Structure 1
Amino acid sequence: MKVSLLIRRLSIPEFTTNAPVLVDVYITAMGYSPTIRDTRIAVWRRNSQNPGFTSVCALLDDQVVGVAYGFYGSPDHWWQHQLRRGLRHKGGPTTAELEIVQNYFEVAEVHVMPGFQGHGIGRKMMFELLREQQRAHAILSTPEVDQESNNAFGLYRSLGFYDLLRSFRFDGDLRDFAVLTVELPLKETKTH
């Protein structure tokens, strides 16, 4: 039997209906406690109402093995307030940074199930997610890891993402994050 990978855009109704399955991918991929499931489902459904909302999933023989979604950045969003705080703290924002935070697509979530990571699924989802976006940049955050030695950093760097903030702590989270950005549209680059 041949295994068939499909990267599929989801309509907002499809996303909200399937949010429990999609959140399960997130919880498994991140190693989070299942106790956050109901809260995350509600948050993801709320996020689907943001302007510019776009979502994709990766299906492997009809099994969901990946999910990614995002929406237009907005001065009204908590996340942009956090970005601006971080940029001020490091002495900015510079003119270039200000232009980025005024015109970006926020990649809110990108997750691939363990066992399927490192096989190009995240890359394919990112290209589909960011295809035809009407913003000049995409921005995302990812937990810091020593020497960027994980699949997530490898993916983002291969797509051309560069540092906007490093070792940044979002309010209410004790972990350090890298905030990365890239100009849109994505350019096809060779993988390592």
Structure 2
Amino acid sequence: MVDSPLPEPGDVRVSALSPHQFQLAAPVLVDIYLAAMDYQRSLRSSRVAAWRQQAAHPGFRAVIGHDRDTVLGFAYAFQGSAERWWHRHVADGLRRAAGAAAAGRFLTDYLELAEVHVDPRFQSRGLGRRLVRAVTDAAPQPRVVLSTPEVPGEDNNAFRAYRALGFYDLMRGLVFPGDSRPFAVLAADLPLPAEDLRR
């Protein structure tokens, strides 16, 4: 990321990326992801490769928040699929927590919101909500589903944004293989509400 003066929120535009544009931008987007999640830079090359592969998923859509010179955030999503690792673990957890009918209802036709991240220097300015709205806009699926790390009292920018956009709990405390942290699995009906539900 370029260490340049940050723009005013009103100067930030949200633009769609084609799958090819997303693949080209992946290194910059992964840098934002690593900074936002405070992950080790040793993950960079594997994440770039994985995200470039995900751009080929059916229904792929991506957006970035940017000014003239700097990408400040991004989100991407695609059609949920039972063939993918994330879906299988969420479906197994939901079946255990709420039964097969619930898993079938919520995970049959959905948009998987794979990632949404904002440069830490530009958080708490509403960009995350704008990105989620943009990446889900006109999506053909009836709902969007995501997972996010649990935090005490839901006291972080991500949870506040998701609740403002109408996301509700599908499951709490899910632990994915290879990651000891519990995750919340959230969903929202599409289209999202026109106005934030709370601030």
Q: TM-score range with shorter-chain normalisation?
A: over 0.9
What is aligned with 1:77?
Answer: 84
What is aligned with 2:43?
Answer: 36
Q: CA deviation at 1:31?
A: 0.4
- In structure 1, the residue corresponding to 2:76 is in which secondary structure? strand
Paired residue type of 1:118: S
Following the alignment from structure 2 to structure 1, what is the Cα–Cα distance between the partners of residues 64 and 115? 11
Instruction: Tell me the TM-score normalised to structure 1 length.
Output: 0.95
Instruction: Verify the 8 A CA contact 1:72 1:105 in the aligned structure 2.
Output: yes
What pairs with 1:58-97 in structure 2 (closer than 5 Å)?
58-95=65-102, 97=103
Unpaired stretches in structure 1, ≥5 consecutive residues: none
Instruction: Verify the 8 A CA contact 1:143 1:177 in the aligned structure 2.
Output: yes
Instruction: Verify the 8 A CA contact 1:166 1:178 in the aligned structure 2.
Output: yes
What is aligned with 1:114?
Answer: 120
Q: CA deviation at 1:88?
A: 1.9
How many residues end up aligned between the 2 structures? Answer: 191
- Give the alignment's Cα RMSD to 1 decimal: 1.4
Q: Deviations over 1:49-96 (max 9, x none)?
A: 00000000110332011010010001111111011110122141334x
Q: CA deviation at 1:172?
A: 1.6
- In structure 2, the residue corresponding to 1:160 is in which secondary structure? coil
Instruction: Tell me the TM-score normalised to structure 2 length.
Output: 0.92
Q: 1:120 to 1:91 in 2, by over 3 A?
A: closer
Following the alignment from structure 1 to structure 2, what is the Cα–Cα distance between the partners of residues 189 and 105? 21
Aligned-residue identity in percent: 42
User: Runs (4+) of structure 1 moved beyond 2 Å?
Assistant: none
Unpaired stretches in structure 2, ≥5 consecutive residues: none
Instruction: Verify the 8 A CA contact 1:52 1:71 in the aligned structure 2.
Output: yes
What is aligned with 1:180?
Answer: 186
Q: CA deviation at 1:101?
A: 0.2
Q: Larger deviation: 1-10 or 60-69?
A: 1-10
Following the alignment from structure 2 to structure 1, what is the Cα–Cα distance between the partners of residues 25 and 122? 20
What is aligned with 1:14?
Answer: 21
